[in-house]
Amino acid sequence: MNVLVKVLVGFVALQHLGFLVLEMFLWTTPTGHSVFDLDPAFAEQSAGLAANQGLYNGFLFAGLVWSLIRGADGFALKVFFLACVVIAGVFGALTVSSSILWIQGFPALAALLAVVVSARGSADSD
């Protein structure tokens, strides 16, 4: 289960690194326009807001990587940062697009459940 936890948390972390790159560096490019279905004029007008979102995604990436580096001692970090991602996914689905729940929320929820089940299994075997 420990490997599964690392893979799932790592996947969510890499997603947020990708979101950072898309929002901070590719927002006004054809790639950003395509991924987010953006009108180029709107992309230019909203580039500052997108960069701000990207920075927040970078903090989520950093927190999740930190939790992985901490190993078993990173349990609380994993729970906190994954819960933040789940909440952001739900909020994004309610306010922007339901696809955010599938792309962002559910992978984080799967990772969070794996973290909790794995920790519970470790506690039961002690």
- Nearest Cα neighbor of 56 from 9, 93, 24, 8 is 24
| pLDDT at residue 32, rounded to an integer | 96
Write b or e for each residue in 99-108: b if 16 or more Cβ atoms lie within 10 A of its Cβ, otherwise e: ebbeebbebb
Q: What is the pLDDT of residue 95?
A: 96
**Is the CB of residue 4 less than 8 Å from the CB of residue 23?**
no
**Paired tokens of 104:** 């962002």
Mark 37-69 as b/e (b = at least 16 C-beta within 10 Å): ebeeeebeebeeebeebbeebbebbebbbebbe
pLDDT tens, position by position, 64-74: 999 999 988 99
User: What's the pLDDT score for residue 98?
Assistant: 95
Domain boundaries, the chain: 2-121
Mean pLDDT for each consecutive 10-residue tract of the chain (126 residues)?
92 98 97 95 97 97 97 95 98 95 97 95 62
What pLDDT is stored for residue 126 in this prediction?
47
pLDDT for position 123? 62
